[in-house]
Amino acid sequence: MRKKEIEEELNKIYKEMSNWPKINKELNYVISKQEVERRELFLIAREELCRLEDAKKSNNRLVENTHEATFKLIKATLELDQNLNDE
């Protein structure tokens, strides 16, 4: 991933996180276990992107590839979850 792509993904995550208080209120502050786990994945994805940035700065391709693969796996999981919820 290029630095710009990382920034775009981080912005998507921050946008999602900014909606959480609104969602909490709509759910009357009773948040399901599935929603908690979904949010945890967003936080882990954010952490992986930050680690990916650090790996790029240190020119460590193995670590960079590991964090990029982990992020892509998390992103695919979140997209699958979203698709299942839309059906």
2-37: per-residue pLDDT in tens? 888 988 999 999 998 998 898 888 888 888 888 889
Delimit the domains of the chain by residue range.
3-86
Quote the pLDDT of residue 61.
Answer: 94
pLDDT averaged over every residue in the chain: 90
What is the DSSP code string of 3-44?
HHHHHHHHHHHHHHHHTHHHHHHHTTT---HHHHHHHHHHHH
On whether the pTM is more than 0.85, the answer is no
Residue 87 has pLDDT above 80, yes or no: no
Which residues does 73 contact at the CB level (< 8 Å), separation at least 6?
A: none
Quote the pLDDT of residue 60.
Answer: 92
Going by pLDDT thresholds of 50, 70 and 90, the confidence category of residue 48 is very high
**Does residue 16 come out as left (phi exceeding 0), alpha (psi in the -120 to 50 range) or beta?**
alpha
Quote the pLDDT of residue 23.
Answer: 84
| Block residue for tokens 């786990």 | 37
Going by pLDDT thresholds of 50, 70 and 90, the confidence category of residue 47 is very high
Residue 83: is it exposed, middle or buried by C-beta count within 10 angstroms (0-12/13-18/19+)?
Answer: exposed
